[in-house]
């Protein structure tokens, strides 16, 4: 009887483990800061907001409830942010690339339309890892020292005036290509006003699109 119970327990736990899958993922991220004003004026910055290219890497754990439904949690390091373009007299353009490096934790409910195709949605929370800025000037000779001072000013302004945590929602889909290798795409939109102490109801939120490859260990 003990052998039968032990065999049953081993089969039960093996079944549970078979429902839980671990994986890794990485890819391209396109992010944009969004203001409730057409032009942004924040921390001394004036200009129009544009999208910025970046990347992400992360790990995931998926637990299947059955063949159709699953829950998935992830941890990602993502290079997000945006760009601000400022036009000055004399056809001079200043581009300020703002890198908001974040730890992103998404949690999603998944539905498998087919064994290969999964669609999902859920909330995420992200935490500030670091903030860097890079200034590029076109149409005029730039002073390296002035640029360095400007980059430091931007970094200090965003570190001091933006919240370290933000929340949002995301939706996406992935497709298993071959034996655990999958392609994944999602869009995330921030719900948090990232400005600590907004003036005149100013708002700044961040949306980002991700596409990449991953692998689930079987």
Predicted local distance difference test score (pLDDT) of residue 18: 56
pLDDT > 90: percent of the chain:
58
Q: Which residue has the higher pLDDT, 106 or 84?
A: 106
Helix (H) or strand (E) holding 83: strand 69-88
- Map out the domains of the chain as residue ranges: 21-217
Residue pair 172/1 in contact by the 8 Å Cβ criterion:
no
All residues at 6 or more sequence positions from 107 whose CB lies less than 8 Å from its CB, including other chains:
71, 72, 73, 74, 122, 123, 124
Q: Which residue has the higher pLDDT, 139 or 123?
A: 123
pLDDT (average), residues 22-37 = 92
Q: Which residue has the higher pLDDT, 136 or 105?
A: 105
Topology given in CATH for the domain delimited by 21-217: Porin (2.40.160)
Most confident of 63-67, 135-139, 199-203: 63-67
Q: Is the pLDDT assigned to residue 1 strictly greater than 70? A: no
* pTM of this prediction exceeds 0.75: yes
Measured in degrees and rounded to the nearest 5, phi and psi for residue 164 equal: -85, -15
């Amino acid at each position: 009887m003990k052998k039968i119970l032990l065999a049953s327990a081993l089969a039960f736990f093996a079944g549970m483990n078979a429902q839980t899958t671990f994986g890794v993922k990485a890819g391209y991220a396109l992010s944009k800061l969004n203001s409730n004003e057409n032009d942004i004026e924040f921390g001394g910055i004036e200009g129009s907001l544009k999208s910025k290219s970046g990347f992400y890497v992360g790990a995931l754990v998926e637990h299947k409830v059955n063949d159709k439904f699953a829950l998935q949690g992830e941890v990602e390091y993502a290079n997000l942010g945006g760009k601000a373009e400022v036009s000055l007299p004399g056809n001079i353009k200043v581009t300020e690339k703002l890198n908001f490096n974040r730890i992103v934790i998404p949690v999603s409910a998944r539905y498998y339309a087919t064994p290969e195709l999964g669609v999902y949605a859920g909330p995420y929370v992200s935490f500030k890892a670091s903030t860097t800025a890079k200034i590029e000037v076109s149409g005029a000779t730039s002073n390296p020292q002035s640029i360095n001072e400007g980059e430091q000013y931007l970094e200090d302004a965003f570190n001091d005036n933006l919240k370290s945590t933000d929340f949002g929602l995301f939706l996406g889909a992935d497709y298993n290509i071959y034996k655990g290798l999958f392609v994944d795409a999602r869009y995330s939109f921030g719900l948090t006003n990232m400005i600590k102490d907004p003036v005149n109801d100013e708002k700044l939120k961040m949306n980002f699109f991700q596409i990449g490859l991953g692998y689930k260990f079987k």
